[in-house]
Structure 1
Amino acid sequence: MKKLTLLIAALLLVLTTGCSMQPPSWAKPKTGGDLTQMKIGLSISTQDNPFFVSLKDGVVAEAKKQGIETIVVDAQNDSAKQTNDVEDLIQKGVSALLINPTDSAAISTEVENANNLGIPVITIDRSADKGDVKAFVASDNVKGGKMAAEYLAQLVGKGAKVVELQGVAGASATRERGQGFHEVADTELNVVASQAADFDRTKGLNVMENLLQAHPDVQAVFAQNDEMALGAIEAIRSSGKDIPVIGFDGSDDALKAIKDGKLTATVAQQPELIGQMAVQAARDVLQGKTVEKSIPAPLKLVTKE
């Protein structure tokens, strides 16, 4: 009977340990002053978008400069995959997590798991709805949305009919860019339609084709990122119309399209700089320094002129 009791106790111990989110002892996060002994886990929402490729490059380059190892995972715009990716990074014993959320609500559970394990979290470009985030590094998306609306109002005039292509539902960037845009556009412009195209070029093209059929008299377009804007200008060109389009990000493709006279303007971010700033924030946190909760990266409006 005594042997049976010991066996049951051992099984319970194994089951309890197996269900824990704790990483194995060899993979416990390292903290302290020696950065060369630390590693950062970077979870990117997608590598199909040039903006996030540049952001990742900024993180990797700055981490290398600081002597910090980086592990990069691509969520492929799938919030469930991102959850699994972050769990894997935790199990690998990362010292800090840099997360570019696919969905700001869905990622919150993993932020809280990291909090419970003492792993600092820095969010990049998009925030998390819950959990303790040491720093949020991003452009001021609300300000950028306002910049876009103000420029369109100057370009096409007060009360002009415009459509808005929205990003991924649930992403903080979608909410914030839309918020800033509507703070100005709802009084200065006539927003006849707002429709999601998920930050995707092909979807931007398809959605714009449908919007042109529903609103043939539209006078301007605001797309919440450059990929959707580039899709929209293809749809507009195919229709034979000449409608100004403003994007958001400042990607290489968008800047070239502006130079070629195809895209009207973009609210340009600096993704590599954002990545660099995120690593610098993680470094400071790991060294016990205080960092600002919100770290803004500068924006600029880019036009052909």
Structure 2
Amino acid sequence: MMTFKQKLAAALSVSCLAFAIPAAHAADYTIGLSVATLANPFFQGMTAGVKAGIAKHPNLHLINTSANGDANTQTNQVTDLINQHVAALILNPINANSIVPVVKEANKKGIPVFTLDRGAACGGCQVNFLETDNEALGKEGADFIAAQLKQRYGSIKGNVVDLEGLLGTTAGDEREKGFATEFELLQKTNPDLKLVSRQAADFDADKGFNITTQLLAAHNDIDAIFNGNDDNAVGAVRAIHQANRFVPIGNPKHIVVIGIDGTEQGLTLIRKGQMDATMSQNPLTMAEQSVAYVEAYLHGDKASIPAHQFWPHMLLTKANIDSPEAKAYGLWGDQVSQ
């Protein structure tokens, strides 16, 4: 089994593949980008990564769009990009199913589609689907909570809340699958491990806040909250503070909070000791890799492009958040906020 450092080195070695074409022979290509929303810092980081990747290739030009969280808007925007005869599409679908018709339309027009972080629910319609292993994120989130509860009680027991992400996206569905499957396995050998509530907070801080506020009012014995992303977690932490239920990490009454993504807000809360952990992705390096694959495809180097690839992720806590290993991985939340 590869270590984290080996996985990171392997992924970065791929991202450093040279696809350069001599300037005199380089054709100009326009690339269309559609991200789900720019209201979420993760997708701001993703967009910054695509722009950084484009900047490395003077022959590539970008048309950048955001769907503002609306699947119909995204369909219309991608249709417009197809009608502009872009050379390739990089898509971050709002919904894995609703994006399929326009992906297939792009296929018919000979426009290659690359999906980033979230995929399309059609086999073979994407040249490359580049994402984090979202099922693994969910599983590791359940295992992290189990470890904290064992440290607290001497055995794996306690009351846990599951704030799901945006269901209908590959990221939201797979993170929930990973968490739920692992949690059920843990319950089989640890009958005092309880799931208090499972509700969709939709990758939204306000929804995370509202749901957590209601749950804290109904339950005075919540031990931990798993969050589909850092926005959910930020809302949960805010609710805990507002309910005067925050106590420091290590206190037996502390509510363990873990998120996913590695946003600037998440990193800040971890450094302050108010959030226990995040499983960080790196949308900057992941997006740059997607652009590198587009460049390779457009210049005939299709054999080097995997159909599906998992980008490395890293568990961050207060103990390692500013470590050399974390800096080598890339604290994108800090970078985007600068």
Class of the TM-score when normalised by the shorter of the 2 chains: 0.7 to 0.9
Q: Deviations over 1:216-254 (max 9, x none)?
A: 322100111001100100001111223110000001111
What displacement does 1:166 show?
A: 1.2
Query: Structure 2: any 5+ residue segments left out of the alignment?
Result: 1-20, 151-155, 187-192, 247-254, 320-338
What displacement does 1:35 show?
A: 5.2
Of 109-118 and 161-170, deviating more is 161-170
Question: Following the alignment from structure 1 to structure 2, what is the Cα–Cα distance between the partners of residues 40 and 79?
Answer: 20
- Verify: 1:269 aligned to 2:281, yes or no: yes
Q: Deviations over 1:49-103 (max 9, x none)?
A: 1110011000011111112101110100100000001011111111110000111
- Retained in 1: the 8 A contact 2:160–2:226? yes
- Retained in 2: the 8 A contact 1:35–1:66? no
Question: Following the alignment from structure 1 to structure 2, what is the Cα–Cα distance between the partners of residues 129 and 168?
Answer: 16
**Map of 1:29 onto structure 2:** none
Amino acid at match of 1:74: S
Amino acid at match of 2:289: M
1:62-211 equivalent positions in 2, closer than 5 A: 62-67=53-58, 68-130=60-122, 132-157=125-150, 158-188=156-186, 189-211=193-215
What displacement does 1:180 show?
A: 1.1
Question: Following the alignment from structure 2 to structure 1, what is the Cα–Cα distance between the partners of residues 131 and 184?
Answer: 25
- Retained in 2: the 8 A contact 1:36–1:69? no
Q: Deviations over 1:259-281 (max 9, x none)?
A: 01111100000010111111111
**Map of 2:37 onto structure 1:** 46
Amino acid at match of 2:147: Q
What displacement does 1:159 show?
A: 3.1
Instruction: Please state whether the residue corresponding to 1:66 is helix, strand or coil.
Output: coil
Amino acid at match of 2:317: T
* Structure number with larger C-alpha Rg: 1
Ranges of 4+ aligned residues in structure 1 off by more than 6 Å = none
What displacement does 1:144 show?
A: 1.1
Question: Following the alignment from structure 1 to structure 2, what is the Cα–Cα distance between the partners of residues 130 and 109?
Answer: 9
Query: Structure 1: any 5+ residue segments left out of the alignment?
Result: 1-31
Change (3 A) 1:36 1:236: farther
What displacement does 1:187 show?
A: 2.5
**Map of 1:250 onto structure 2:** 262
**Map of 1:10 onto structure 2:** none
Question: Following the alignment from structure 1 to structure 2, what is the Cα–Cα distance between the partners of residues 135 and 226?
Answer: 26
**Map of 1:302 onto structure 2:** 316
Question: Following the alignment from structure 1 to structure 2, what is the Cα–Cα distance between the partners of residues 205 and 187?
Answer: 28
Question: Following the alignment from structure 2 to structure 1, what is the Cα–Cα distance between the partners of residues 217 and 172?
Answer: 24
Of 212-221 and 257-266, deviating more is 212-221
TM-score scaled by structure 2? 0.78
TM-score scaled by structure 1? 0.86
Instruction: Please state whether the residue corresponding to 1:42 is helix, strand or coil.
Output: strand
What displacement does 1:183 show?
A: 2.2
Question: Following the alignment from structure 1 to structure 2, what is the Cα–Cα distance between the partners of residues 108 and 211?
Answer: 37
Aligned length: 274
